[in-house]
Amino acid sequence: MKISRYFDAAVLKPELTPQEAEAAIRECIAYDSYSVCVRGCDIPLALKLCEGTNTKVSCVLDFPYGYGGVAAKREAAKAYAQMGVVDIDMVMNYGAARGGAWDVVEEEVRAVAEEAHKFGVNVKVIFETSQLTDEQIRKGTEVCVAAGADFVKTSTGFNGGGATVEAVKAMLEAGKGRIKVKPSGGIRSYETAKMYVDMGVDRLGIGFTSCSKICAGEEEALKG
């Protein structure tokens, strides 16, 4: 499978104008990304642009800090799922995770999963692994399995470092095939993207500005 079919191409910069968001979404579609991951305000635009293409629409929820609380998370999940996205990438309350309040984390993930799954929408839980220990990443993965999430995801790209081999390995080992894994943040070359795919991940979070470089790298590798 070509590398772009792993892309959740992120169009999430808060300063993007509607015109800039449209241009970015069109670029992601042109590279045949699996999905374009957008801000809540851009869901209608993305759905319109992606209609009739191979690219689906995903969105973020409680982004980028994850501290909105269970009621807000649940209502946003319901709203976004009803709009027609295929995936919701919610941010874990990683402050709660760091403090060992795993019951809070589980309640919030379950609330989003319950609303999303009513509409056949997948839920990815963004950990912000740069803020967590290896033990917390593994525990978080177990909690997400128990709460019914479909994916665990490393990073927002907006706080600290992005994906690392160590974090992805921890997620894969703790998940034991019960939940899918999505590295995100800092993936800017074909070599890095391919490395994570070879580790066994199911999706890649790619900033929209990196799509062209990664796809060009794949072309060069295939020529070689």
User: Where along the chain do its domains lie?
Assistant: 3-223
Compute the average pLDDT of residues 109-113.
98
pLDDT at 105 over 90: yes
Task: Calculate what percentage of the chain has a pLDDT beyond 70.
Answer: 100
With respect to CATH, is domain 3-223 assigned 3.20.20.70?
yes
**Measured between alpha carbons, how far is residue 158 from residues 26, 63, 104, 130, 208 in Å?**
23, 9, 23, 11, 15
- Packing angle of the helix pair 70-83, 102-117 (nearest 10 deg): 20
- Give the chain's mean pLDDT: 98
CA angle (167 as vertex; 37, 15 as ends), nearest 5: 30
Reply yes or no on whether 182 is catalytic: yes
Reply yes or no on whether 153 is catalytic: yes
Reply yes or no on whether 139 is catalytic: no
- Residue 36's Cβ-side half-sphere holds a number of Cα atoms within 13 Å equal to 32
Give the pLDDT of residue 171.
98
CB–CB of 201/182 below 8 Å?
yes
Compute the average pLDDT of residues 169-189.
98
Helix (H) or strand (E) holding 59: strand 56-61
Compute the average pLDDT of residues 3-20.
98
18 Cβ contact partners less than 8 Å away, ≥ 6 residues apart: 42, 45
pLDDT at 215 over 90: yes
Give the pLDDT of residue 224.
83
Peptide bond preceding 64: is omega within 30 degrees of 0, i.e. cis?
Answer: yes
Closest Cα to residue 93, out of 121, 62, 123? 62
**Measured between alpha carbons, how far is residue 72 from residues 7, 68, 141, 150 in Å?**
28, 6, 22, 20
pLDDT at 193 over 90: yes
Compute the average pLDDT of residues 29-48.
98
**C-alpha gyration radius of the chain:** 16
Distance CA 189, CA 75 (A): 37
Does pTM surpass 0.75? yes
Q: What is the dihedral of CA 91, 93, 97, 99, to 10 degrees?
A: 160
Catalytic site residue from 56, 139, 153, 180? 153
CB–CB of 127/154 below 8 Å?
yes
Catalytic site residue from 89, 124, 150, 180? 89
Tokens of 139: 């525990």
**Measured between alpha carbons, how far is residue 208 from residues 7, 21, 172, 213 in Å?**
9, 10, 25, 10
